[in-house]
Structure 1
Amino acid sequence: MDIVDKLIDDFNNSSAWLEFFIVLGGLLLAYVCVRFWGRHLKHKGRAASVWFGSNPLHGAMFPLMALLWIYIAQAITVQYMPVFWLRIAISLLCSLTVIRFVARVLSKSFPQSTGMRLIERVFSWMVWGLAVLHSLGLLTQVLAELDAVRLTLGKSQISLLSLIEGALSTGLMLVVVLWVSSLFEQHVINRWVGDLSMRKVSMNVTRGVLITVGLLLALSWVGMDLTTLSVMGGAIGVGLGFGMQKIASNYVSGFLVLIERALRIGDNVRVDGFEGRITDIRTRFTVIQALNGRESIVPNETLITQRVENLTQSDRRFSLSTTMVVGMDSDVEQVRQVLLAAAASQPRVLAQPGPSVQLVDFLEHGLQFSLNYYISDPQNGQGNIRSDVNLAVLQGLRAAGIQLPVPRQVLEWSGGAPGAKDVKVDPEAVDHRA
Structure 2
Amino acid sequence: MEFDLSTQPEIVQQIAGYGVQGYELAKVWLLSPEAWSQFGLLVGAYLLAVFATRRLRPALARLIDPGDKNSMFSPGRLFVLRFLPLLLPILAYAFTGIGEQIVRSIFDSGTVIAFGKRVFLFLAARALVRDIVTDPFLQLLGRFILIPIVALYAVGLLDIVTLKLTETTVGVGNISFSAITVVRGIIAGSLLFWLGQWSNSQSAAMIKQQEMRPSIRQLLIKTVEFAIFAVAFLLLMNIMGINLGALAVMGGAIGVGLGFGLQKIASNFISGVILLIEGQATVGDYVELDGGEAGTIVKMLARAAILETPDGRWVVVPNEDFITTRVVNYSDSGSANRYEAPFSVSYDTDINLIPPLIEAAVAKHPEVLDLPYPPDCELRGFGDNGIDFAVEFWVNGIDDGPNKYTSDVLFLVWNALKEANIEIPYPQRVVEIKGGLPAGIAS
Q: Secondary structure at the match of 1:361?
A: strand
Instruction: Note the C-alpha offset of 1:307.
Output: 2.0
Query: Which structure 1 segments of 5+ residues have no match?
Result: 105-119, 421-434
Task: Show the counterpart of 2:104.
Answer: none
Q: Distance in 2 between matches of 1:226 and 1:298?
A: 36
> Which AA in structure 1 matches 2:41?
N
Residue 236 of structure 1: which of 232, 254, 268 is its match? Answer: 254
Task: Show the counterpart of 1:268.
Answer: 286
How do 1:25-424 and structure 2 match up within 5 A? 36-37=65-66, 40=68, 42-43=69-70, 64=83, 66-67=85-86, 71=90, 74-75=93-94, 77-81=96-100, 82=113, 83-84=116-117, 86-95=120-129, 100-101=134-135, 103=137, 121=140, 124-187=143-206, 189-271=207-289, 272-327=291-346, 330=349, 334-364=353-383, 366-378=386-398, 381-382=401-402, 384-407=404-427, 410-412=428-430
CA contact (8 A) 2:296 2:307 kept: yes
Task: Show the counterpart of 2:4.
Answer: none
Q: Per-residue CA shift, 1:246-295, capped at 9, x if unaligned?
A: 11111111121222111121111222222211111111111111122111
Instruction: Note the C-alpha offset of 1:126.
Output: 2.7
Q: Distance in 2 between matches of 1:168 and 1:317?
A: 54
Moved more, 334-343 or 213-222: 334-343
Instruction: Note the C-alpha offset of 1:362.
Output: 2.5
Q: Distance in 1 between matches of 2:143 and 2:292?
A: 49
Instruction: Note the C-alpha offset of 1:216.
Output: 0.4
Task: Show the counterpart of 2:108.
Answer: none
Instruction: Note the C-alpha offset of 1:194.
Output: 4.1
* 1:250 to 1:347, Cα distance in 2 relative to 1, 3 A: same
Percent identical across equivalent pairs? Answer: 25
Aligned residue-pair number: 388
* 1:390 to 1:124, Cα distance in 2 relative to 1, 3 A: farther
Instruction: Note the C-alpha offset of 1:235.
Output: 0.9
| 2:21 matches 1:13 | no
CA contact (8 A) 1:343 1:355 kept: no
CA contact (8 A) 2:193 2:229 kept: yes
TM-score by length of 1: 0.76
Moved more, 375-384 or 127-136: 375-384
CA contact (8 A) 1:269 1:311 kept: yes
- Let me know the Cα RMSD of the aligned residues: 3.7
* 1:190 to 1:223, Cα distance in 2 relative to 1, 3 A: same
CA contact (8 A) 2:349 2:423 kept: yes
CA contact (8 A) 2:269 2:302 kept: yes
Instruction: Note the C-alpha offset of 1:153.
Output: 3.8
Query: Which structure 2 segments of 5+ residues have no match?
Result: 1-20, 101-112, 439-443
Q: Which has the larger radius of gyration?
A: 2
Q: Distance in 1 between matches of 2:312 and 2:29?
A: 63
Moved more, 332-341 or 95-104: 95-104
Q: Per-residue CA shift, 1:65-113, capped at 9, x if unaligned?
A: 5448854773465122445563232222444589535637xxxxxxxxx
Q: Distance in 2 between matches of 1:45 and 1:196?
A: 29
